[in-house]
Structure 1
Amino acid sequence: MAFEGTSTYVATDALRLAVDAAVTLQRPLLIKGEPGTGKTLLAEELARSLDTRLVTWHIKSTTKAHQGLYEYDAVSRLRDSQLGIEGVHEVRNYIKPGKLWEAFEAERRVVLLIDEIDKADIEFPNDLLQELDRMEFYVYETDQTVRARHRPIIVITSNNEKELPDAFLRRCFFHYIEFPDRDTMQAIVDVHFPDIDRRLVEQALEVFFDLRAAPGLKKKPSTSELVDWLKLLMADQLAQQALHERDPARSLPPLAGALIKNEQDTSLLERLDFMARRDGRRR
């Protein structure tokens, strides 16, 4: 398999090689990178390029590994037994398959996305080692083994909120998505807005990368936020005009709320703007 990206997803050479390597090795592809750099979107576009289904397991702080396998609803079974509900003696009626079970039982190979694995407890990744290695797990309540009909392509994303265990890392192929340079970002913009005004893109990218370079910024604007900002600019002629006529020394662009997402960074940029204007007056 050779992943080349899609018409709506720009994949760098390094990312394409990482996908192909993970598939060849039959190991999960662990993807890290700044929020908004397309980690989750990679799995979606990979499934689309293969014309297959995407099975997504969104991880939360309360998620447990066994939920990806299955859950046994003993409470409902007890309630139904008290009410005399038919079928209560069949334990299978109270087994809820998880996302791994769904991926394992698919009739053709699917892409399984385990999204933001670092949000869960530190033991969560280790609790999945055997299942991801052997592509099977045992259901105690029904005395059955669920095996993968076709080994899914597994994409695991992490935002580096916590370190992942070494034993888990050894079983993955790792790739860090570097933040796009200007040329790659231009290609991403062209994919999303093929008919966008060239002058608007040039000025927007200039502002965007200047903002990311601002010292002390708590949250740098991401690729997805640039796309949102351009969408707003294209829909607002006054904002476009304000961007074209903007003083380069000013830190906050029009519709800055699409790029700057907290009051600390807004205050920081306003202070930088003030100091730049003050230094300009002194000269």
Structure 2
Amino acid sequence: MTTEPEISGLDGDWRIYRGDSSPHERVRRLPPPPPWRRFSPADAAEGRLARDLQQAVSYRPDESAVDRVNAAILLRRPLLVTGKPGSGKSTLAYNVAYELGLGSVLYWPITSNTTLQTGLYDYDAIGRLHETSLRGAGGRADTGEPPDIGRYIRLGPLGTALLPGDLPRVLLIDELDKSNIDLPNDLLNVFEEGRFTILELQRLPEEQSRIHVMTADAGPRVPIDRGEVRCGNFPIVIITSNGEREFPPAFLRRCVRLVIEPPDRDRLAKIIEAHLGPDARAVSDGLIEDFLARRADGTLATDQLLNAVYLATSGSRPPEAKLRDILDTVLRPIERPGAG
């Protein structure tokens, strides 16, 4: 006979919310979250770095992914990664940056409104005009010098990745298939030349040939000479796509392509151990089998399995009578073949 583990301080009841409309303070005794859902409100940047690190060290690529990452690095070409949602396409970028010691990933999420310009840099012309007006109206000390234009130019993720440096940066262009039809072709020249110009700086007089501008990762301002950014080492560019559209042949020709296949039983076990430890792996065989059977009937993401294992193995697990129903909800397919 087995007994269910109790939640410390919760009287053996796993529920925080009871649904009886009687106020209580059980939320103050909320157990620790899963490792991939930990936040740090005191330091948002530190919290994000911690989550990125958790993703990076827990990722387990297969040999095909490792080989194609190396091909892209050696050829100085973007890596176009396709696969089902939740297959680890984006996480690959964090794993590469962590293993190679290349610092934080420059993240560029793509929407239908994204343009090449937003990835390269942003110029706050209105903010600069406002400062000029304040000086003219006596709102600030007027030194006779124009406002420092570098304070109003911030490089985007792509622009920051192209800055010259001793080592390449890792740039994640996430979900390019959501972009407008022009963006993939617009990227071609930047990928081929490894440089771009900031027109607002090129128009400045000769005595202002070097301007220090802001970067996408909030680091110290960097110098730009004559408005031109030219990379010294081509960045490691990882582009993800859910396969919702086709890309132009000219774009595909310039990419190394990788299709991430869903992880098999062995890789799933390794992923569980990396996130939740060897004890969770040792008791998760049944859930892995259940997950694989459900995945055969529809799309399931690996993080759904991690959620199920966490619920089934943590101290805050529901009682056995309720656990199966909750796991059915957690492991519900995202989509089924032929659906839609």
Tell me, yes or no, whether TM beats 0.5.
yes
Question: Superposed, which structure 2 residues align to 1:54-203 within 5 Å?
Answer: 54-84=105-135, 88=146, 90-105=148-163, 107=165, 108-143=167-202, 144-197=227-280, 200-203=283-286
Summarize the Cα distance change of 1:34–1:82 in structure 2 as closer, same or farther, 3 Å threshold: same
Q: What secondary structure sits across from 1:256 in the alignment?
A: helix
Letter in 1 for 2:306: V
Structure 1: stretches of 5+ with no match in the other structure: 1-5, 247-252, 269-283
Instruction: Return closer, same or farther for 1:199/1:50 CA change in 2, 3 Å cut-off.
Output: closer
* Corresponding residue for residue 100 of structure 2: 50
Q: Using a 3 Å threshold, how does the CA distance of structure 1 residues 95 and 7 change in structure 2: closer, same or farther?
A: closer
- Per-residue Cα deviation, 1:111-168 (whole angstroms, up to 9, x for no partner): 1111111111111111111111111001111112100132211111111222222211
Task: From the superposition, tell whether residues 184 and 240 of structure 1 become closer, same or farther in structure 2 (CA, over 3 Å).
Answer: farther
Aligned-residue Cα RMSD (Å) equals: 2.6
TM-score (norm 2): 0.66
Match of 1:17 in 2: 67
Shift of 1:100: 1.8
Q: Does the CA-based 8 Å contact 1:30-1:173 persist in structure 2? A: yes
Say if 2:93 is the partner of 1:34.
Answer: no
Does the residue aligned with 2:232 lie in a helix, a strand or coil? coil
Alpha-carbon distance in 2 for matches of 1:199, 1:48 = 27
Q: Per the alignment, in what secondary structure is the counterpart of residue 35 of structure 1? A: coil
Q: How many matched pairs? A: 249
Which residue pairs with 1:278 in the alignment? none
Change (3 A) 1:56 1:192: same
Aligned residue number for residue 232 of structure 1: 311
| Unmatched runs of 5 consecutive residues or more in structure 2 | 1-55, 203-226
Distance in 2, matches of 1:239 and 1:14, equals 41
CA shift at 1:73, angstroms? 1.8
- Partner in structure 2 of residue 250 of structure 1: none
Counterpart CA distance in 1 for 2:240 and 2:73 is 16
Residue of structure 2 in register with 1:213 after alignment: 296
Residue identity (%): 36
Q: Deviation of residue 240 (structure 1)? A: 5.5
Equivalent-residue separation in structure 2 for 1:201 and 1:105 (angstroms): 46
Describe the shift of the 1:204–1:27 C-alpha distance in structure 2 as closer, same or farther (beyond 3 A). same
- 2:224 — aligned with what? none
1:274 maps to: none
Superposition TM-score, scaled by structure 1 size? 0.79
- Judged with a 3 Å threshold, the aligned counterparts in structure 2 of structure 1 residues 81 and 221 are, in CA distance, closer, same or farther, namely same
Partners of 1:233 and 1:240 within 8 A in 2 = no
Residue matched to 2:10: none
CA distance in 1, matches of 2:282, 2:124: 59
Q: 1:227 to 1:135 in 2, by over 3 A?
A: same
CA shift for structure 1 position 48: 0.3
